[in-house]
Amino acid sequence: MGAVSEDEGAELVSAYAIEAEREAEATLRPRRLSEFIAQHRVREQLDLLLQGAMRRGAPPEHILLSGAPGLGKTTLAMIVAAELGAGLRITSGPAIERSGDLAAVLTSLSTGDVLFIDEIHRIARPAEELLYSAMEDFRVDVVVGKGPGATAIPLDVEPFTLVGATTRSGLLTGPMRDRFGFVGHLDFYEPSELDVLLHRSARILGVALTDDGATEIAGRSRGTPRIANRLLRRVRDFAEVRADGIVNTVNAQAALRVYDVDDLGLDRLDRAVLTALVRSFGGGPVGLSTLAVAVGEQPDTVEEVCEPFLVRAGLLARTPRGRVATAGAWRHLGLTPPDRLALTNLLGQGPAGRPDTMGNGATPVPDLFTQDP
């Protein structure tokens, strides 16, 4: 059997959706709020919002869901439509390039429909401004023609509920954010919550999953349901092909070694970043671009794919001078971290007045960006 490619191993613990797994994800999505695991506060608030709207016989206020990729924003949008018994239209911010694109979608909605816009912070500005009047007054003004002869034609829109999802709520404009009546933030899952989720997914997929096997997978899933379900499917494949078909601790550990996912959920690229930071730069601080070159990746890949989890796991720190490996990162790589004094120097100045990137008393590495070599 061929070895697992580096790209496949990296995708395994990516929180972003992979096109090839859309169908598998749809099978595992909960259909009702009562089936949705964790996010208890958001679930309760949404339930009150939807129940109140249904009792009044009117569409609920517009809903904004924020949080990291893979936590269930799309699933919650589908659940909102299902709970209301309404139709669902799905699109994304990058797909709406012109105001006419959005107008076509809005005017095709029926009364009470739910419009879901994923990555709503990336919607084009002209379309966003058109969306303001649609959200508030259920009306859009379509401009026909150009120049002095241009005419605005008002079109009524059936009352609808907009559900927007964003991974970067800070990029939303103030006027857009203010038009949402409900804003919910989805948090990362606890391992115990992922354990419950994995048992539910195993029942749907017909996988023999033991309690210790679920615990093993949950601990490597980065607090993200999408990653947990993906790891479950890969461990299932391993168990069926190379073992007895049961997903237990032994088979899970063996499978994830094949896919290069360690006990913290780090993949090849994550460990490459930490290894370069510790071994090549003495723990830092080092700039993002320099670190990206050291691991052979683009800076935005390191910043957006690797760093969020490494920072959350306490393995990497962002400082004004650059990225710094924490003591936990040294220990995770099987190395002895610098002592407290050396670690202080890593975050400040070395004995010679320059950044001490190798530990207390070591020859400082020249700061090529702020001082002469």
pLDDT tens readout for residues 339-354 = 643 445 455 444 444 4
At 327, the pLDDT band (50, 70, 90 cuts) reads confident
Residues of the chain with CATH 3.40.50.300: 39-185
Residues of the chain with CATH 1.10.10.10: 268-347
* CATH 3.30.2130.10 assigned to 268-347: no
Q: 191-258: what fold? A: Helicase, Ruva Protein; domain 3 (1.10.8)
Alpha-carbon gap, residue 225 to 151, rounded angstroms: 49
Query: What does the pLDDT look like over 132-189, one tens digit per residue?
Result: 888 888 888 777 666 666 677 778 889 999 999 999 888 899 889 999 999 999 999 9
Active-site residues, by number, are: 73-74, 118, 167, 226
Handedness of CA 99, 100, 103, 104 (dihedral sign): negative
Residues of the chain with CATH 1.10.8.60: 191-258
Asked if residue 226 lies in contact with residue 194, where contact means CB atoms within 8 angstroms, the answer is no
Alpha-carbon gap, residue 24 to 272, rounded angstroms: 30
Alpha-carbon gap, residue 195 to 216, rounded angstroms: 9
The whole-model pTM stands at 0.80
DSSP state of 286: B
Tell me the CATH number for domain 39-185: 3.40.50.300
> Which value, in Å, is the radius of gyration of the alpha carbons in the chain?
25
